[in-house]
Amino acid sequence: MTNLENMLILETNKKDKMKYNKRIFKLFSFTSLGIVSLIFYLFISNNVKLLFYDSSHVNNQKKILRFDSILQLRDAILQTGQIVFTENYFTVDDGGGSKYYIRKATIGDIDDSGSIIKLKNGNVAVLEADKTVNISQFGARGNAWYYNTDDNRWYEDCNFSIPAADDSIAIQNAINYAASTGNSVTITACPENSYYFSKDIIITTPHITIDMKNARIVSNARFHFKGNKDSINGALEDDSLLLEDVHFCNANFGDPNNFDVACRGPKMEYVLNSSISNCTKNARGGTSFNLSFAKNCQIYNVHNYGARPIGEKDTIGILLYHTINCVVKDCTVGGPGQWIYGVQQKGGYDNQWVNITCHDMSDISRGNIIRDRGDAPYHASSSKGPYPYKTGNWAQSDNRRASHNTKFINCTAFNIPPKAVGFKAREARGTKFIDCKAKNARGIYLQKDALAPVDYDDHYEIINFTGENVALPIGISSNSSIPIEHAVIDGVTINTIQPISKIKNNAIVINNVCNLKFSNATIKNIANISGHVINLYKVKNSVFKNIRLINSQFTDKKSLISIADTCFGIHFIDCSF
């Protein structure tokens, strides 16, 4: 051998050591360069199992070493200034290979099994990563493949003989490392893995993206992004206190072999310019995909199939809680389990829900599918203290914080029990339902409560609503002494009405409303319903224009329209009944 610049040396066991050394001596004894190489081999053979010698480091004496695993790296005796690589973390192709720089240990060094590895001789290996870190580089195994319903534990094998790893610490350490860099970092996973973690993973640093690469998560703990709670004072007016530019994407939640194993999607609170995207949950579980006290954020392409079992705490598929200018788009909610709501917005303003579908939710405990509502504050005498809002758009005269200016665009509710309202806005000023549809469900219900403030002006709008086989298609009602003001309904198509037991089946019910403009409605294929086509009570100064009843038969014409004595200023223009 004349070219020794990339010499490969393999360690043998002690029994064959002398025989192996004689062969090496014979091989290298023919040249002076061979003698030098032999001395080098004898020096390092007890420490390194696999060695590549890089000729570019001959002058500065730095050696690039490669190890099969972290365990081999820990056992190595390495000198400061060396660059080393691990091919894997535990086993071949586990995604945990990394590059490290060797330096002396310092007082502040903490071995986290990823970014700092303490070596046998007291030095440390320091992770050298670019803007992407894989959780496997910190020891996450992702081997939770089989769930044993007898002991409620995860296993790696179908015989339940190899317990799966709890990856809580490894994932948290990877996130802590990313936070320590001060840079924008993407944390990834191995797409073929299935991860279980028993504790919530906490993210409190901005500019972090968690991209699961379509890996599976089988945990009822969750990824929890948490900004500064003090940011909610003044209605999120201080953006500097919010956790900015954090993202979670490309995850599959649930066990494909056992739908009943609970899982939960991520939660973000006190965040700015952040997102949850491209996730699917096929499992039972509590409220998932949650933005709370968020500003300028998005949830998109998220699909949540499965609520908690009946009898347990209820579930919301997707939740916006006191958010500003947030968008939920191209999402689906449905499946078995006990739902409280399909999707809900509670408090906040200028939010949009676009292309949302809620379907096949057989167990609805409170009767709302797509819901927008205000939120009552804690009382000052409460043990929790007064709610921490000061002034601004979220504070009403009586401190009730309604939702403001929410838009539901091209949203659909179908195959829902008739006890559940398809679309509902409650104490939600300026809510707009645009191009929405309900099928085999209930329709739209707009409501004001008895505690609504005096200065509350509603401005509800329903534009181009289609209902097919719907129960109570359109309902508008104020339970307050103060009527709903300035509602607009323009473009309604109702095709057949689904009966509800013990309830009069009206097509349109309007109660305690002023200044309503209702136009361009077609109601068809209705016969002898128990209620009325239009039922008005305490309606004032309102106009009904171009309302058409088609292909419908009533033996009693009184069933068409009911106008109570409490109504006045009602005008029907170009209507046909």
Q: What is the 3-state secondary structure (H, E, C) of 412-434?
A: EEECCCCCCEEEEEECEECCEEE
| Rounded Cα–Cα distance for residues 373 and 424 (Å) | 8
Answer yes or no: is pLDDT of 248 > 50: yes
What angle do the packed helices 32-44 and 17-28 form, to 10 degrees?
160
**Longest CA–CA separation in the chain, Å:** 117
Answer yes or no: is pLDDT of 175 > 80: yes
* Mean pLDDT across 402-424: 85
The count of other CB atoms within 10 Å of the CB of residue 275 is: 22
Percent of the chain's residues with pLDDT above 90:
53
Using DSSP's 3-state secondary structure scheme, residue 573 falls into strand
| Rounded Cα–Cα distance for residues 397 and 531 (Å) | 38
Return the pLDDT at 34. 53
The count of other CB atoms within 10 Å of the CB of residue 44 is: 16
Output the six-digit token pair for 279.
């996730």
Winning range, highest mean pLDDT, from 81-85, 506-510, 524-528: 81-85
Output the six-digit token pair for 515.
């200044």
* Mean pLDDT across 119-139: 94
Return the pLDDT at 27. 47
Return the pLDDT at 4. 27
If pLDDT is split at 50, 70 and 90, which confidence band does 552 have? Answer: confident
Using one digit for the tens of pLDDT, what is the confidence trace for 91-126? 999 999 999 999 999 999 999 999 999 999 999 999
Nearest to 445 by CA among 414, 421, 417: 421
* Mean pLDDT across 442-464: 76
Q: Are 419 and 367 in contact (CB under 8 A)?
A: yes
Answer yes or no: is pLDDT of 454 > 70: no
Using one digit for the tens of pLDDT, what is the confidence trace for 191-211? 999 999 999 999 999 999 999
If pLDDT is split at 50, 70 and 90, which confidence band does 526 have? Answer: confident
Return the pLDDT at 342. 87
Percent of the chain's residues with pLDDT above 70:
78
Using one digit for the tens of pLDDT, what is the confidence trace for 330-372? 999 998 888 888 898 888 889 999 999 999 887 776 657 787 7
* Mean pLDDT across 292-300: 94
Nearest to 306 by CA among 345, 271, 349, 258: 258
Return the pLDDT at 429. 79
Nearest to 439 by CA among 495, 370, 521, 508: 495
Answer yes or no: is pLDDT of 395 > 80: no
Using one digit for the tens of pLDDT, what is the confidence trace for 256-281? 888 989 899 999 999 999 999 999 99
If pLDDT is split at 50, 70 and 90, which confidence band does 572 have? Answer: very high
Place of tokens 């009403």: 396
* Mean pLDDT across 122-132: 93
Return the pLDDT at 449. 74
- For the stretch 204-239, what's the b/e string if a residue is b when 16 or more beta carbons lie within 10 angstroms of its beta carbon? bbbbbbbbbeebbbbbbbbbbbbbeeebbebbbeee
Return the pLDDT at 54. 37
